[in-house]
Structures are given as C-alpha cells and as structure tokens.
Structure 1
Amino acid sequence: MNLHGVRPVSAGEWEKAKELRLSALRDPVAPVAFLENIVEAEAQPDEFWQGRTAGASSGRAVRQFVAEAPDGSWDGSVTVLVEEGGTIDYFGEVVEKAQGHLVGVFVRPAQRGTGVTEALFAAALEWAWSLDGPALGRVRLFVHEDNARAEAFYRRYGFVASGRIVVGTPSDPQARELEYVLERPAADR
C-alpha cells in the first residue's frame, strides 16, 4: 500500500534531491535508465544541485515531483520537461507542438510495486495537463530497449509506442531508446 505524499520539490530541498538522484544512479538498472552516470553526478558541486532543484520547483519549463514517506524521506521522483513548439529537443529534432517529456523516473527498490510510481505519474500528468498557453498536446518519454520492467509499466499506464527510435546516447552510441507517448485526454482538450 502506498502511504506516500506526492508533491513538487521546493527550491531549498536540493540536498534531498541530490541524495535521491545519486541513489537512482547507483541502481543496477541505471546504465539503461539514465543518460547521466554516478561518476558525473558525484562530481557536481552543491551549486549545481541547488540550481537544478530551484529550476524544477517553479515556472512552466520543468517540474520535479517526489514521493515523500510519512517519515519525510523521499522514495521516488519523476520530472516533467516542457518542450515548447518550434524548439529543438534533446535529440536534435524540432518539436512541432508543445509537449511534456517525462525524465528521471526512479522509485527505490523497496517501494516498487506499491503504487508509488503510479502516484508520481498521476501528479506529473495532472500538472502537465493543467498548463495553459499553449496547452500540452501529449506527454512522451523514452525507454531503453533493454529496460523491460520500465517499458511494461509505461504500457500499463497507457503510454503507447510511437515507433520513433533514437539510436545512441552519450554513454552508449549503440543504445536504442524507444519513444512512448500519452495523448492529452479528450476531456482536457
């Protein structure tokens, strides 16, 4: 049973955000789940983490959501990046219409299968669909072809493979990342 509260991060919570991200990058699946690695992340100064957390706590461009246990510890996170129409995305493609992009999905192993991931996704999507001017038409994410557990969750949640495959990441030029999309619900259009 999930007893976690899910909420956006606050700017001053950078130490918790840093600890959770480093835990995520130590996870055995990290090499196929994240574009960043533990060595790079541990080398970042505190100012990096402060700026990253502050940037994800307000505004339209990015929002990080965390799953907070009753004792105040954090057990999971997801971040929504807003890709505005006409901009260039991470992979060098032009974004046609405003869309969300989920990144940094992580739930501590002891909390997997308890509903924490679903709660994180619900909060992230509620925020994404609530944005005005322009409204987001869809939310997408990418999953490494070897990350079957994550891919299965995304499908169960309603994301659909778009058919787009991106080959190559900074750490693995042969990696194949599969795009999954969730269209804005008709009731929210």
Structure 2
Amino acid sequence: MDYVVRAVRAEEWQRAKEIRLAALRDPAASIAFLDTYEHALSRPDVFWQERTAGAAVGEHSRQFIAEAPGGQWAGTVTALVERPAGEPGFGEAAVVDQAHLVGVFVRTGHRGRGVVDALFREALDWSWSLTGPPLERVRLYVHEANERAAASYRRIGFVPTGETLLMEGDPTSLELEFEIRRPGRSRG
C-alpha cells in the first residue's frame, strides 16, 4: 500500500472539509453519518477550522487521513475519547474509558486497497497510547443495513456487543455497537 496514514494538521481544515463533504455525498451517507451534505456545506469556515484544530491536537479526539501517492485524501477516520467522568458519548455515558470511532470514509476508487485497515490501525494505536487511565476498548456503531461496513469492521477485529441504539431520525432502524478490546483484556 503506497498511502501515507497520519493525523490531520490544523492548517488542513479546507481538505478536512472537502473529504467530509465527499463522504456526505456517498450513496451510503444516509445510513453512515448523522449529518447531511446540505447541513455541512452551510457551516461557516470557522466551524471547520475549529473542528480540524481540535482533531489535530489529539487531546480528546484525533482525525487520521490516508493520503494517496498523488496527494488526494483517500480516506479518514476520527477517534473520540469517552471517559466515565466526561460528557455523555454517543448513546450513553461511558462506563469505561474508551474511544469511539466516527466519520469512517474511504473514497470509492480507493476501497479494497487496505486503506480502512491502515486508518483503523493508526486510530487503534493512538487510542492505546494515550496517557491517563488506559482505554479499555474502542467502539463504533454501524447501521444494521450497512453490511459492507460491518464486514470490514469484523475483518479488522471488531465484534458486535449486542448493544443497539435507535437510528437518529429513523426510529425503525438500529445502530449496532461493535468493539475491540484493549490487547490483553477480555470483555468482563
């Protein structure tokens, strides 16, 4: 794989905005993201600048990108740190120290080349390396109809926890929680 996987830099906010907008135009966007292209497009530049700066610092979140040989950003994932003493995470308050992967996207022309695996490896390595109380697990949610994404997550090592949430905006659909436990730790 000739891609460079790295953390986003604060000054790259325009590129971070562009890949997010591309993700929101993907055919699976309606079941993969809790945002719309139109809503994201309407956000002011300062939103994208602050969002990218926060994801570049890496204190509570970190965005990773995969850069193709020609310089195009081929994919991205963001890891959000959720701690029991912190703000409630997606769905509920964290009961263990954990990271939550969001914004997973690989452009169509780069799928099947190991990009998602490399992005997840970087996000997992970062999660396990954080100082403070060690993170027990990394989790993510996937729409019950997004079999392509679920298959990728299983192949990487994520397993369903059995926890579900109603899909925001569509109470007839479920989001399924998947997790990967910190190496050496089992689900208890």
Range class of TM-score, shorter chain: over 0.9
Aligned letter for 2:163? Answer: R
8 Å CA contact 1:9–1:56 kept in 2: the answer is yes
Instruction: Give the drift of 1:60.
Output: 2.0
Instruction: Give the drift of 1:86.
Output: 2.9
CA distance, structure 2, for counterparts of residue 80 and residue 124 of structure 1? 6
- Match in the other structure for 2:154: 155
CA distance, structure 2, for counterparts of residue 120 and residue 77 of structure 1? 7
Q: TM-score, normalised by structure 1?
A: 0.94
Alignment of 1:22-171 (within 5 A): 22-87=21-86, 88-91=88-91, 93-169=92-168, 171=169
8 Å CA contact 2:143–2:167 kept in 1: the answer is no
Instruction: Give the drift of 1:174.
Output: 2.4
- Match in the other structure for 2:182: 184
Moved over 6 A (4+): none
CA distance, structure 2, for counterparts of residue 176 and residue 97 of structure 1? 23
8 Å CA contact 1:86–1:97 kept in 2: the answer is no
Aligned letter for 2:16? Answer: A
CA distance, structure 2, for counterparts of residue 131 and residue 165 of structure 1? 27
Aligned letter for 2:89? Answer: D
Query: How many pairs are equivalent?
Result: 184
Instruction: Give the drift of 1:114.
Output: 0.4
CA distance, structure 1, for counterparts of residue 137 and residue 64 of structure 2? 18
RMSD: 1.1
Instruction: Give the drift of 1:71.
Output: 2.0
8 Å CA contact 1:78–1:103 kept in 2: the answer is yes
8 Å CA contact 2:55–2:61 kept in 1: the answer is yes
CA distance, structure 1, for counterparts of residue 54 and residue 97 of structure 2? 19
8 Å CA contact 1:142–1:178 kept in 2: the answer is yes
Question: 1:11-51: CA deviations, max 9, x gaps?
Answer: 01001000000000000000011011111101111111111
1:175 pairs with 173, 176, 183, which one? 173
- Aligned-residue identity in percent: 53
